[in-house]
Chain A
């Protein structure tokens, strides 16, 4: 049975800092996840543990019930696009692609040529001669061409201009529709990716704060504005994320299923993903 990736009770400490504190998540097949969090929240640590790059202090990561730790068979269903460049600097792009195909036989060479020409990536250049933006493009080309069930992208649009970012998002969506691989994207550019991601995992100080579908989450995310006396009365049993007080105006940010429409003297607004993230993590 295909369970996907299950992260069970994972802990990770660096010295006195709890990088990850009892993480329990499930990554299913055929979905686009967004792993969101502030700097140092534990996003990259989680991705590194899932992909066997570092080891958790406690807990287990499994793929279809089998531990991924030091398991070549399980690991070949996972690929991570890192923030850093881990390729030999003097290797040419074409050689890098050649070797990636060797390591991942499902690598789609024709697609990589197609997407390279879209991004205008020169295959005769060496890795070290690429600019920051083109280094990201190289990683994007390789990552999107690798046809494995779970693809992790850690800050994929680093250094990309708006045109290339737009091209990346479109390529990602097309690739997802064609291959139905699971893409797990860790990013700070929440607003740009909010239309693409289906499921949100929000990490704050090493703990999972949110792990649900984006649509369900945003259905519940509300900003309620009005006078403090009126609002306080209604929201006392609600999951209040944040409040703001400026003079007579009181704003409360909630995750709620309650329908506040029809209540006088208060304004209800839906929250966007970025604003919700800001309130949850501030």
Chain B
């Protein structure tokens, strides 16, 4: 019962921001369609106007919302005596529900936007799936690509929302000592240790890392499922870390 109310509360708090986001996006998209017809500024090339940042804007929005966790949600839920476990579970539900809803809305907006006649008679709204996996988009039917794109943007949004949540949990809950160790360890690894090992191995380490990254991100192979799997794996690890810290989070002055 408390989990259900916690979910409803968190979604309700997001509602206005999400509506505002989509109003702004729709206005920008409307301008992208209208401006080439109007020729308001002769020096501006309206014919090549594109709008392809919808998923990025949404991802950034969700990342920021994730970082707001301790600002309001955690306090309100703890004030109403919701246990940390219920807070964590309800937040997971919220991330999934919001990510799913926004992926559907986002993709529908792109599809509808591209259906509206424009001056150039081309698809002026391009999704991130199309940008990253253009070859795959050309290979398969529109129907299949729509669903793959839907799935991809869903995972993409989940990842960024989760990442924002992870970021703020680590920032708030990790001890100062551990933060310093973590930052020092990561920096040392990339700036000193990795180049050193790479030099010793005649750049073989770099090659292995780049090839692994390529496979994990699936970009050169055009395999979106590889990237989705990578993001899902990172999310699972992130949720485990978040759960560990949330269970120890203190709610007091």
Q: Which residues of B238-253 have CB atoms within 8 Å of chain A's CB atoms?
A: 247-248, 250-253
Contact A86 B13 (CB under 8 A): no
Question: Chain B's interface: helix, strand, loop or mixed, by majority?
Answer: helix
Selected from A44, A52, A72, A99, the residue in CB contact (under 8 A) with B253 is: A44
- Does A84 interact with chain B (Cβ within 8 Å)? yes
**Residue in A70, A84, A86 whose CB lies within 8 Å of B83:** A70
Q: How far is the CA of A100 from the CA of B78 in the complex (A)?
A: 12
- Which one, B72, B80, B251, contacts A103 given CB within 8 A? B80
Select one of A48, A72, A80 contacting B86, CB under 8 A: A72
CB < 8 Å: which of B5, B72, B83, B85 contacts A102?
B5
B222 to chain A, nearest CB (A): 45
Contact B76 A99 (CB under 8 A): yes
Q: Which residues of chain B are near A100, meaning CB under 8 Å?
A: 80
Bound-state Cα–Cα, A102 to B81, Å = 12
Which chain A positions have C-beta within 8 A of B2? Answer: 72, 76, 103
- Cross-chain contact A52 with B80 (CB below 8 angstroms): no
Asked whether B219 is an interface residue with its Cβ less than 8 Å from the other chain, the reply is: no
Q: How far is the CB of B35 from chain A (nearest CB, A)?
A: 35
A71 at interface (Cβ–Cβ under 8 A)? yes
CA distance A48 to B251 in the complex (A): 8
- Tell me whether B93 is interfacial, beta carbon within 8 Å: no
A88 close to B76 (CB less than 8 A): yes
Chain B residues near A250 (CB-CB < 8 A): none
Q: Does B84 count as interface, using CB distance less than 8 angstroms?
A: yes
B23 at the interface (CB under 8 A from A): no
Are A84 and B253 neighbours in the complex by a CB distance under 8 Å?
yes
A-chain residues with CB within 8 Å of residue B8 when the two chains form the complex: 102
- Which chain A positions have C-beta within 8 A of B80? 99-100, 103-104
In the bound complex, residues from chain A placing their C-beta under 8 Å from that of B152 are none
A44 to B253, CA, bound (A): 9
CB distance from A53 to the nearest CB of B (A): 4
A187: which B residues are within 8 A, CB to CB?
none
Asked, given contacts A54-B250, A103-B5, whether A86 binds B76 with beta carbons under 8 Å apart, the answer is yes
For window 62-119 of chain B, which residues contact chain A by CB distance below 8 Å? 72, 75-76, 78-86
Question: Is A82 interfacial (CB-CB < 8 Å)?
Answer: yes
Contact B84 A83 (CB under 8 A): no
Chain A residues with CB under 8 A of B51: none
Q: Chain A: how many interface residues by the 8 Å CB criterion?
A: 28
Tell me which of B9, B82, B252 contacts A48 (CB under 8 A).
Answer: B252
Task: Please state if B83 and A52 are interface contacts (CB–CB under 8 Å).
Answer: yes
Q: Does A6 contact B (CB under 8 A)?
A: no
Chain B: how many interface residues by the 8 Å CB criterion? 24
A72–B79 touching, CB < 8 Å: no
The answer to whether B81 and A79 touch across the interface, beta carbons within 8 angstroms, is yes
Instruction: Report yes or no: A103 in contact with B83, Cβ–Cβ below 8 A.
Output: no
> Please, which residue of chain A has its CB at the minimum distance from the CB of B13?
A88
Residues of B within 8 A of A89 (CB): 72
User: Which residues on A sit within 8 Å (CB–CB) of B76?
Assistant: 86-88, 99
Complex-state Cα separation, A100 to B80, whole angstroms = 7
Answer yes or no: A78 CB below 8 A from chain B CBs.
Answer: yes
What residue of chain A has the Cβ atom nearest to residue B4's Cβ?
A: A102
Chain A residue nearest in CB terms to B86: A72
CB of A75 within 8 Å of the partner chain:
yes
Q: Does A51 contact B (CB under 8 A)?
A: yes
- Closest-CB distance, A81 to chain B (whole angstroms): 9
- Residues on A with beta carbons closer than 8 Å to the beta carbon of B81: 51-52, 72, 75-76, 78-80, 103
Q: Give the distance in Å from the alpha carbon of A104 to the alpha carbon of B80 in the complex.
A: 8
Contact of B252 among A44, A75, A88 (CB under 8 A): A44
Contact mask for chain A residues 48-86; partner B; CB cutoff 8 A; 1 contact, 0 none: 100111110000000000000011100110111011101
Known: A52-B81, A82-B79, A103-B9. 18 other contacts (CB 8 A): A44-B253, A51-B81, A53-B250, A53-B252, A54-B250, A54-B251, A72-B82, A75-B82, A86-B75, A86-B78, A86-B251, A87-B76, A87-B79, A99-B9, A99-B76, A102-B5, A102-B9, A103-B81
Residues of A within 8 A of B (CB): 44-45, 48, 51-55, 70-72, 75-76, 78-80, 82-84, 86-89, 99-100, 102-104
28 contacts between A and B (CB under 8 A): A44-B253, A52-B81, A53-B251, A54-B252, A70-B83, A70-B84, A72-B81, A72-B83, A75-B81, A75-B83, A78-B81, A80-B81, A82-B79, A84-B253, A86-B75, A86-B76, A86-B78, A86-B251, A88-B72, A88-B75, A88-B76, A89-B72, A102-B9, A103-B5, A103-B9, A103-B81, A103-B82, A104-B80
